[in-house]
Amino acid sequence: MSEALLYSFRRCPCAMRARMALRYCAVAVEIVEVSLKAKPAQMLALSPKGTVPVLNVGGQVIDESLAIMRWALAQNDPEDWLLKDDPAAQGLMAGLIEENDLVFKVHLNRYKYAERYPAQPMEHYRAEGEVFLRRLEALLAQRDYLLADHLSLADVALAPFVRQFAHVDREWFAGAPYPRLQQWLERFLASALFTGVMAKG
């Protein structure tokens, strides 16, 4: 297989999770850091919608982060991120990722950029996002990871967004009633997988 090419933006949560999956799966990939104010013509030719990440591998273009993660895991999944022998966990994983991507991301965006959404105060958007945080806190009651005794696709797909939510007001998050989620996030941010993809070239 020819080397893959990934158009990415270092701080974008969607790009983070795609980079982590590619790294975990040991896919040889050249990463092109994109300026969101001056997107390269080559990337726009592959994916006119102009959002990162965009993966080009062997002429196949994948421009959704979750699809990139699943493509990578289809190549190699040494630690069973897909929980292939647990259909119930797979269903829960799909639901968690869908809730993150379709609901939590909306609240996160409004919380982070509350000045753009003056219809409600910042605290309102934070409270809406907390519905998801409480669900994650409950899942972590029995184990260190969301769905298994090791990382799964759910942990890696969600953590960049929880990180962004936590960083909007770090003091608030540190004092919020989510001790297991705080520990989960701290472990994730200290992991070799995360620090590896966030290292500046």
Per-residue pLDDT of 65-108, as tens digits, reads: 999 999 999 999 999 999 999 999 999 999 999 999 999 999 99
Per-residue pLDDT of 143-198, as tens digits, reads: 999 999 999 999 999 999 999 999 999 999 999 999 999 999 999 999 999 999 99
Torsion of CA 84, 90, 94, 97, to 10 degrees: -80
pTM: 0.95
pLDDT of 126 reads 98
Contact 84, 32 (CB under 8 A): no
CATH class of segment(s) 87-193: mainly alpha
d(CA 50, CA 60): 17
Reported as a pLDDT band with limits 50, 70 and 90, residue 1 is very low
Domain ranges within the chain, ordered by starting residue: 4-78, 87-193
Best CATH choice for the domain 4-78 from the list 3.40.50.450, 3.30.70.1560, 1.10.3720.10, 3.40.30.10: 3.40.30.10
pLDDT of 3 reads 81
In percent, the amount of the chain with pLDDT more than 90 equals 94
Chain Cα centroid distance, residue 133: 15
